[in-house]
Structure 1
Amino acid sequence: MAVPSTITFKFSILLIILFSFEARETIAISLTEKVTITNNVTDPTPKTITFNCKSKDDDLGVHTLMFGEIYRFSFRPKILYPIVHPTVFSCSFTWLGNPHRHYFDIYDQSRDRCFHCNWKINLNGGCLNGDKCRPWKSVQLMDA
């Protein structure tokens, strides 16, 4: 019986380590969720919307979309869900001529089953992938 040389053994260990890191990166990329927000608000004419989306850990900042424009972001949801709280991105939306701030959960890990969630925001809330429409989570009168 032949005894493997120490060089062959070390090279095998190195290959295993390299493949492990490559597999970890591939799995991490495949677990990335993508969200697209399209402005479809008409009140009664097309409106430019301003919005801010946040999770517990991230604030994506304030953005403005003209009617028909899109905004995209991606993130990695919590792998240990449901052991830990789910990843949730909540957004607030405003537009000129409406004195209210409209709140909407644009992504909720416990609710949404999509790797690319396409939301069309309209006067009544948002529609996911063109068919599952949800009303605003809440609406508040803004300060004057």
Structure 2
Amino acid sequence: MTKSFFILLIIFFYITNAYQGALVKTEYYTEVHIVDALPNNDIPLTFHCASKDDDLGYHHPKVGDDFHFEFIPRIWFGHTLFFCHFWWGNKQAMFDVYTYELSVNCSKDENPNDYCYWKIQEDGFYMGPSLDQVRKLHDWN
């Protein structure tokens, strides 16, 4: 009896992880924003973002541009992870832009959707719940 219950529990978690989009309310999502706040467009910023399942491509924003994407975060095994590789002149950096652990830096609205903002500046990478509430998390390499 215990072994059957354990097997059913594993199957339940597998199904909910695979089909979580259907099980989680569709209005709940996370939105990640990456904003180019560099001093000018003389040296172009380039970045490439991806997750295990999604390649978001290469982007070449201008100063002030806001690239953003949204997703329904995984709530069971293997939390959602998105990472980006950034290039600016001879500088570069690569790091996670969204993980469950980083989500504490995001804001929630009444739905409760999450909004995560990354502000790319000359001295590094800042994250917060809005563009005017960010703290530095990474330097350029």
Deviating above 4 A after TM superposition, structure 1's stretches of 4 or more consecutive aligned residues are none
Give the TM-score, by structure 1 length.
0.64
Q: 2:138 corresponds to which residue? A: 136
Q: 2:125 corresponds to which residue? A: 125
Unaligned runs of 5+ in 2: 1-20, 107-113
Query: Number of paired residues?
Result: 109
Give the TM-score, by structure 2 length.
0.65
* RMSD over equivalenced CA pairs, Å: 2.3
Pair 117,39 (structure 1): closer, same or farther in 2 beyond 3 Å: same
Q: Distance in 2 between matches of 1:59 and 1:41?
A: 24
Pair 57,137 (structure 1): closer, same or farther in 2 beyond 3 Å: farther
Alpha-carbon deviations, 1:36-93, whole Å to 9, x = none? 1110123xx454311111112211000110001111111111121xxx2221111111
Q: 1:111 corresponds to which residue? A: 102
Q: 2:44 corresponds to which residue? A: 48
Q: Distance in 1 between matches of 2:92 and 2:80?
A: 23
Match of 1:78 among 74, 79, 85: 74
3-state SS in 1 of match to 2:60? strand
Q: Distance in 2 between matches of 1:71 and 1:92?
A: 14
